Structure 1
Amino acid sequence: MNKVLLVILAILLPPVAVFLQDGVGKHLIINIVLCILGFIPGVIHALWLILK
């Protein structure tokens, strides 16, 4: 159930989902930069991180 909520959150707010999954670290910074450059790469990165 928790993973389902993280996937939904990754689609809507990718940095928040990455923060809840890994906390503050390199993946959060990468995801924020990807979201600034384009929303879709941020979503893909968040989904990859949650589903791996």
Structure 2
Amino acid sequence: MTNSDKRALVEECRKSAMTAKEWCASKGINYSTYMQWLFSPLTRFESSTLIEVK
């Protein structure tokens, strides 16, 4: 699975109405694996999801 694939799955989870644990269980993804994706520098989201403060 590519880093892009992982980022897409993290985004899908974030957009769902479920908790991360519920979403992982529904997709058959180990919660610990999901958390590694979420906090990995290789799959971390771009700063475009943040608002710049001046």
Report the TM-score range of the alignment, normalised by the length of the smaller protein. Answer: 0.3 to 0.5
Judging by fraction of residues, say which structure has more helix.
1
What is the TM-score normalised by the length of structure 2?
A: 0.32
Normalising by structure 1, report the TM-score: 0.33
